[in-house]
Amino acid sequence: MDNEKEETFSPSGKTEKRYNLLSLRGIVEGYTVFFLLLVLVLIISLLSNEFLKVRNLLNIVRQVSIMGTVALGASVVIISAGIDLSIGAVLLASGILAASFAQKSGWEFAIFPYLPVLPVVVPVLIGLAAGTLLGFLNGFIISRMSIPPFISTLGMMMMVQGLSFIYTQGRPVSHLNDSFLFLGQGVIFNSIPVPVIVFFSMAVISYFLLAHTKFGRYVYAIGDNEQAAYLSGIHVKKYKTLVYTYAGFLAALAGIMLTAKVSSVQAGWVTSFELDAITIVVIGGASLSGGVGTVLGTIIGAFIIGVLQNGLNILEISIYWQQLIKGLILISAVSLDILRRKQKQRKSAY
């Protein structure tokens, strides 16, 4: 049994017994979430022959990418032992703001009816700036005023929702320029959707930030033991602010892609993005008490939710049942992980 595992050092800074990928037991114990994803793919592809077609797989990746971008931000927040309930609202608000600068000129119900056609960079930058600013505000309130993140981001969520209504007067923002729509619907190299490229590049950047920079180290440190981080001379407040700012930035990015994908956006849409993001991060192995979690885990978590949703749609299972199954997967993924950790703890000294 001992030959199966060898002590290796993974670049994420996590020392863990690595298991031989060829042994089934190794897969189950070492990569619970990955195993779950495989099982899910296997079951759905056995039940439906539509599932494994390239077209459908591409569809899944496209679905996953927007949700996944939000979840990347959420995972950084959760690793720092925080929580951000406002990302759903920030996402919509940034989408609305960006879209309002990308409406077709001359349409009378537009927010700015006589705005000339701007290059696509302008609305995108405005949207990103708005999201980043809201994220920064979150971080500022949490770190400087010491208000618990749950409460301050809950308040922020309501305020941002209100602002979105005020800004749009409740009207949908639609009739968008083609150059803007490209960000959600376009493809590069004939087949790869833009959101997918954005998601994967953000995933690589997030991985790099978390695993290979001081910023990442400090995010883990603050999540693990804030007092220890402070006593080691780390600017805890600064890094906490940065964490929420980053989450806000990614939410804005996702908001712009979402708006472009569905060609319109309206204040008051019930997206529950914040809860979905938390679900993904937790399925990916992060702990809400902080200090634990990886970008890879979050990506796999996003794919589990994406595959599940797509598979259930293909199998024509009603939306009511889908909701139930999603909850079931969340609880079973986390309990599997906890079970595994307990076993590991038993094996190591007390």
Looking at the Cβ atoms of 213 and 335, the one nearer to other proteins is: 213
* Six token digits for residue 255: 């908001």
Say which residue the tokens 């994908």 belong to.
Answer: 261
Which of 259, 257, 267, 252 minimizes the C-alpha distance to 103? 259
Do residues 130 and 252 make contact, with C-beta atoms less than 8 angstroms apart? yes
Residues in the chain: 350
Binding mask 193-222 for other proteins (x = CB under 8 A): -------------------xxx--x--xx-
* Euclidean distance between CA atoms 193 and 68, whole angstroms: 14
Q: Does 17 bind other proteins (CB under 8 A)?
A: no
349 lies in the binding site for other proteins (CB under 8 A):
yes
Q: How far is the CB of 289 from other proteins (least distance, A)?
A: 10
Cα separation of 63 and 305, whole Å? 10
Q: Do the strands 14-19 and 5-10 form a parallel or antiparallel pair, or are they unpaired?
A: antiparallel
CB nearer other proteins, residue 53 or residue 212: 212
Minimum distance, C-beta of residue 140 to other proteins, in the bound complex (Å): 18
53 near other proteins, rule: CB under 8 A:
no
Contact 73, 261 (CB under 8 A): no
CA–CA distance, 82 with 84 (Å, rounded to integer) = 7
The residue (of 248 and 290) whose beta carbon lies closer to other proteins is 290
Instruction: Provide the token pair at 258.
Output: 């979402």
Which SS3 state, helix, strand or coil, does residue 113 take? coil
Q: Is 238 in the site for other proteins (CB under 8 A)?
A: no
Which range touches other proteins (CB under 8 A), out of 10-18, 121-129, 195-203, 269-277?
10-18
Q: Of residues 234, 288, 329, 334, which one binds other proteins by CB under 8 A?
A: 234
232 binds other proteins (CB under 8 A): yes
Q: Which is nearer to other proteins, 319 or 349 (CB)?
A: 349
Binding footprint of other proteins, residue count (CB under 8 A)? 28
Spatial CB neighbours of 12, under 8 Å, sequence gap ≥ 6: 210, 211, 294, 296
Q: What are the residues whose beta carbons fall under 8 Å from the beta carbon of 154, sequence distance 6 or more? A: 85, 86
Q: How far is CA 14 from CA 135, 206, 323, in A?
A: 28, 16, 34
Asked if residue 291 binds other proteins (CB under 8 A), the reply is yes
Is residue 342 within the footprint of other proteins (CB under 8 A)? no
Least distance CB 215 / other proteins (angstroms): 9
Asked if 350 is part of the footprint of other proteins (rule: CB under 8 A), the reply reads yes
Q: Which stretch binds other proteins (CB under 8 A): 54-62, 87-95, 227-235, 319-327?
A: 227-235
227 binds other proteins (CB under 8 A): yes
The residues binding other proteins (CB under 8 A) are: 7, 9, 11, 13-15, 212-214, 217, 220-221, 224-225, 227-235, 291-292, 348-350
